[in-house]
Amino acid sequence: MSAAALKRAAAARAVDLVQDGMRLGLGTGSTAAIFVELLGARVRDGLSVVGVPTSEATHRAAEAAGIALTTLDETPELDLTVDGADEIDGQLRLIKGGGGALLREKIVAAASRRMVVIADGTKQVATLGRFPLPVEVVPFGLGATRRAVAQALARAGCPGEITLRTGPDGAAFLTDGGHLILDAHPGRIPDPEALAAALAALPGVVEHGLFLGLCTGAILAADESAGARLVTLGTV
């Protein structure tokens, strides 16, 4: 089965979790985009929900799908956020931000009573850190912040190369908030909580891609000869 078909299977299962009247967080990335598309079809069939998008891209997609949108100012508490992930471990700890939307994604997830991750099964790992860990930083003081991030990684037992994320044109990638992203390549993160605390304490760091204690459940689509086999983690 193609990766796209696996993502669609996980997204379709997540759409079944949505009930009339729910306030939703709408994730970012290719899997979340399928969820938004499928949710839009249910809205056109009469489902009434409001959504908070986690990026400008998701805002545009949700609008095009006919989903009513709100903000966390109008709706500070959400019932359910459905989002993708770059990695998930057995304790529902995540690396997110491959698409650069980690800041809004984390704010929306933290405002949600439930956060369900949808992904193909390859995203499940025993230890986080193979996927580069995004660290969103302000442009001012980039060199000093980069050095401090490297030191924090080393102290947390996971040194590795740090690269400034660039876009397809080779220029520095800018997030929806106008920040830069440093991608750390630790290989493995032995103590995600310690690293998260160390990164959060650094001036210049806006947010990092470790989502700890936020995800309440996951729907992972594993590739089997008969089709997609959905595996759930946590409470779905």
Ligand X SMILES: O=C(CO)[C@H](O)[C@H](O)COP(=O)(O)O
Task: Give the Cα separation of 105 and 209 in Å (integer).
Answer: 9
Distance CA 155, CA 181 (A): 21
Q: Which is nearer to ligand X, 30 or 166 (CB)?
A: 30
CB of 192 to ligand X, least distance (A): 16
Determine if residue 85 is labeled as part of a ligand binding site: yes
Phi, psi (deg, nearest 5) at residue 93: -85, 145
Q: Which of residues 17-76 bind ligand X (CB under 6 A)?
A: 27-32
Listing DSSP states for 156-183 in one string gives TT---EEEE-B-TTSSBP--TTS-EEEE
Could you tell me the smallest distance in angstroms from the CB atom of residue 27 to ligand X?
5
Confirm or deny that 7 is annotated as ligand binding: no
105 labelled catalytic: yes
Total site size for ligand X, rule CB under 6 A: 18
Using left for φ > 0, alpha for ψ between -120 and 50, and beta otherwise, residue 100 falls in left
Q: With beta carbons less than 8 A apart as the criterion, state whether 41 and 25 touch.
A: no
- Give me the catalytic one of 87, 105, 136, 207: 105
Strand-pairing partners, residue 53, are: 26
Considering the rule CB under 6 A, would residue 184 count as an interface residue with ligand X? Answer: no
CB of 122 to ligand X, least distance (A): 10
- Kindly tell me which residue out of 25, 51, 53, 84 binds ligand X, with binding defined by CB under 6 A: 84
CB nearer to ligand X: give 159 or 212.
212
Interface residues with ligand X (CB under 6 A) are 27-32, 83-86, 96-102, 105
Catalytically active residues are 105
